[in-house]
């Protein structure tokens, strides 16, 4: 089961596309039993978490916390501010970028890592594969869901 929580102070997204993206990735990784929570937060909140839990003093787009491996249980935190900025940078819709980040988090829960260039490339390939399986994937109409903000600090995937 995948739950999505909108915890961003000013922005709300439809949860179903994000939950579906995580479910597709987990199915693709042959994970049938899982309890995953995706929490959509602000840049400030994810920075706080990055400092507190990972001792990293920089903005990031997604943080994943594995809780149990069997059955799989974990939490994925996504900065909607960062996703909005990256969507504009990459020329994709906001939902497209949020779904990519959710899939990225799901892949971490499934055991993938991105510490080396080779691992990053492999994860990116899997992200593309699972994004392609989503029905109606694309950037049409999806950027309207979030108000535009100017964000000057970025930390890539």
Q: Is the pLDDT of residue 44 over 80?
A: yes
Q: What is the mean pLDDT of residues 10-14?
A: 93
Q: Is the pLDDT of residue 143 over 70?
A: no
Instruction: Check residue 145 and give its pLDDT.
Output: 41
- The Cα–Cα gap between 18 and 127 comes to 13
The superfamily in CATH containing domain 2-136 is Metalloproteases ("zincins"), catalytic domain (3.40.390.30)
Predicted model pTM: 0.86
Q: Nearest to residue 35, comparing CAs of 21, 22, 46?
A: 22
Give the chain's mean pLDDT: 88
pLDDT digits (tens, 9 = 90+) for 89-140: 999 999 999 999 999 999 999 999 999 999 999 999 999 999 998 865 554 4
């Amino acid at each position: 089961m995948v739950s999505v929580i909108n915890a961003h102070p000013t922005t709300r997204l439809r949860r179903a596309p994000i939950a579906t993206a995580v479910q597709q990735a987990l199915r693709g990784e042959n994970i049938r039993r899982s309890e995953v929570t995706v929490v959509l937060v602000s840049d400030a909140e994810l920075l706080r978490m990055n400092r507190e839990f990972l001792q990293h003093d920089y903005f990031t787009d997604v943080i994943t916390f594995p809780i149990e491996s069997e059955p799989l249980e974990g939490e994925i935190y996504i900065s909607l501010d960062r996703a909005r900025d990256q969507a504009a940078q990459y020329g994709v819709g906001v939902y497209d970028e949020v779904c990519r980040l959710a899939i990225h988090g799901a892949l971490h829960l499934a055991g993938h890592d991105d510490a080396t260039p080779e691992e990053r490339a492999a994860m990116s390939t899997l992200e593309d594969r699972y994004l392609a399986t989503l029905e109606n994937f694309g950037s049409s109409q999806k950027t309207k869901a979030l108000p535009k903000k100017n964000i000057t600090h970025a930390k890539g995937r």
